[in-house]
């Protein structure tokens, strides 16, 4: 795995924060609007950024984007409830999935299963925490039950997972290219005469 310099990491955090802020008010794609990139943003930041402060910055941007969308953008406050703070552990699960993948992403025969495991496990944990807390704590669901939660999970998780994977599929070639370019630079530096 390659490592980004401190400045590169903060530039990446800024780019990811901007992507999240731009897409956050619309959770599902339409012909005019991209789907929410938050899941991919937290996962990619965990994968590529070593600084825990970046997680805090992204959590703050998510909260601020929601506040602006609701306060100024006319977006419904339907999702604001006692469950809202549970987005912190939900997004942290994605961050940790990316961190884990960053530590075990070696170019060997087990790379693809590791990628799949990191993506699915962190996404499922995020969905369980976020949707579970909303289902049982928000007060929106009149009679929350495990059966009702299972139905909601079955209904919403596939679409959220698909959006997540779509963003990661767009990011993957950029990550691979950057790793290749960094490796090529390092090889050139090693072969330069003193």
Q: Mean pLDDT throughout 8-29?
A: 84
Q: Do residues 17 and 50 touch, judged by C-beta distance below 8 A?
A: no
Does the structure show a pLDDT above 50 at 28? no
Does the structure show a pLDDT above 80 at 189? no
Distance (Å, whole) CA 68 – CA 142: 28
Look at residue 78 in the predicted model and tell me its pLDDT: 66
Look at residue 49 in the predicted model and tell me its pLDDT: 93
Which DSSP symbol is given to 85? G
pLDDT tens per residue across span 89-121: 999 999 999 999 988 877 777 788 899 999 999
Look at residue 26 in the predicted model and tell me its pLDDT: 60
Token pair recorded at residue 161: 């997972």
Look at residue 111 in the predicted model and tell me its pLDDT: 82
Q: Do residues 45 and 16 touch, judged by C-beta distance below 8 A?
A: yes
Q: Do residues 33 and 9 touch, judged by C-beta distance below 8 A?
A: no
Output the pTM of the full model: 0.88
Q: Which of 102, 72, 97 is nearest to 175 (CA)?
A: 102
Q: Mean pLDDT throughout 146-174?
A: 93
Percentage of residues in the chain having pLDDT higher than 70:
89
Mean pLDDT of the chain: 87
Does the structure show a pLDDT above 60 at 29? no
Look at residue 126 in the predicted model and tell me its pLDDT: 97
pLDDT tens per residue across span 42-56: 999 999 998 899 999
pLDDT tens per residue across span 53-66: 999 999 999 999 88
């Amino acid at each position: 795995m390659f490592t980004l310099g401190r400045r590169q990491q903060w530039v990446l955090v800024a780019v990811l924060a901007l992507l999240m802020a731009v897409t956050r008010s619309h959770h599902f794609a339409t012909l005019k609007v991209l789907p929410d990139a938050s899941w991919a943003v937290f996962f990619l930041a965990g994968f590529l950024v070593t600084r825990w402060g970046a997680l805090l910055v992204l959590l703050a941007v998510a909260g601020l984007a929601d506040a602006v969308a609701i306060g100024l953008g006319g977006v419904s406050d339907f999702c604001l409830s006692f469950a809202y703070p549970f987005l912190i552990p939900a997004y942290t699960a994605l961050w940790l999935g990316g961190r884990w993948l960053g530590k075990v992403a070696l170019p060997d025969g087990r790379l693809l299963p590791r990628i799949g495991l990191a993506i699915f496990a962190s996404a499922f944990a995020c969905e369980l925490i976020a949707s579970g807390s909303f289902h049982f704590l928000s007060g929106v669901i009149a009679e929350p039950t495990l059966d009702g939660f299972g139905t909601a999970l079955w209904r919403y998780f596939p679409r959220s997972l698909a959006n997540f994977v779509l963003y990661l599929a767009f990011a993957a070639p950029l990550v691979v290219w950057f790793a290749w370019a960094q490796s090529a630079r390092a090889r050139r530096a090693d072969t330069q005469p003193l």
